[in-house]
Amino acid sequence: MLLFATGGQLLSTDLRIFGPLYGNMEVKRLSTREITPEGFIAEHWTPGLPLVFTDAAHVWKAHGTFSPDWFREHFGDRTTVVDGRTYAMKEIMDLVEGKDTSRPVPYPIKYHIPAQLPELIDLITPINLGYAQPNWMESNWFARGNWGNALELFIGGPGGKFPYVHLDYYHLSAWVTQLYGNKEFTVWPRGQERYLYPDPNDPWRSVIPDIEHVDLKKFPLYERATPIKFVVGPGETLFIPFGIWHTAKSLEPTISVAFDLLNGRNFPDFVKDVWGFRRNGNKVKAAAITGYAVLAGSMCRIGDMMGVKRDSRRA
C-alpha cells in the first residue's frame, strides 16, 4: 500500500504492488510545470495510470472560492435529492459541517451542474483543464444521448464514503477536482478484478460490503489485492483511467467537481457498454442507440484529425 499525505509525503508502502504481474504501479503527484498535455497522454492516459495534478485546477475561478459558507450564501435554497429525500443546500452544509447533528449525513450528495447549478460553469472553465482532451463528451454528438456522463458537484461529510468499490460505467475515465477539504481515494491496479469479487448481476461493482474491513474468510482472494491509498486536497485533481477499480472517503467536509472523459482510447469499450446496458430490452432500440454511438464516435474521430476545437463547457 502506498499512502501519501496531501503534500506528497510518503507515509507507508506495501511492496506487493511492485510484483511482476502488475508492474510498478503508483499514483504520482505532478504540477502542470512538470508534465505537458502530450506527456500526460503518453505517460498516464495511454498506459492507464492514475495521476494527481497538484495545480491544474488553479486556472479555475472556483479555486479558493468554494466553501460551505459560499454555497450557503449563493445557493442556500437550491435543492437536490439523495436517497429519495430532498435537501436544500443550506441543510446539506449544516449536516456536513456538524451544525445539524439530528440526522445522518447522506453520501454521496450530488448536484448535476448544468441542470441544477449552471451558474458554476463559468467558474470551472475550461472544464478540461487543458489535459482532459480530446474529450468527445464535449461534442454535440454525445450531448444528445444519455451516456452516463455527468458534470457533477459532490459534497461529503467526515467519514462519508462511496458505498462500494466500483468501475465507472461505459468505461469512462473520471476526473475529480477537490475544491474544499481532503478526500481519501483507494485504487487497485488493472488485472485485480477477481480479487475484488465483482457482482455477477452488476460486474462494475464489488460485492465486498466494507473494503476497509474485509472478511477474508468470505473473500479470501482479496488478500492478494494491492490497494493504493492517497489523499487529494484542495486545488488538486485526480485522473482515474477507465478500468481502474476505485472508491473514496471524505476525511472532513469536502466539495469536489467531477466529469468524464471519452475519446478514441476508451471508445471501443464504451460502445460495448452502450449495447450491453440495453440489449436485454428492446433490441431494435438498442441497435439504434448503439449505431448512433458508433456514428457519433466516428464523427468525433474525424473532428480530432481535423483539429476541431470543442467547447469544454459541454462536458
3-state helix, strand, coil in the chain (%, to 5): 30, 25, 45
The domain of 181 spans 3-314
pLDDT of res. 97: 95
pLDDT of res. 313: 61
CA distances from 32 to 39, 49, 51, 57, 297 (A): 10, 17, 12, 10, 29
Q: What is the pLDDT of residues 256-280, one digit of tens each?
A: 999 999 999 999 999 999 998 888 8
Query: What are the start-end ranges of the E strands in 196-310?
Result: 198-199, 202-206, 228-232, 237-240, 245-250, 254-261
pTM: 0.88
Between CA 234 and CA 63 the distance in angstroms is 8
Regions of the chain with pLDDT less than 50: 1-23
**Count of domains observed in the chain:** 1
Q: What count of other Cβ atoms lies within 10 Å of the Cβ of residue 56?
A: 26
**235 by DSSP, 3-state: which?**
coil
Between CA 10 and CA 61 the distance in angstroms is 31
User: Nearest-CA neighbor of 107 among 34, 159, 179?
Assistant: 159
pLDDT of res. 108: 82
Name the one residue in this structure whose C-alpha cell is 463528451.
137
CATH, residue 163? 2.60.120.650
pLDDT of res. 104: 85
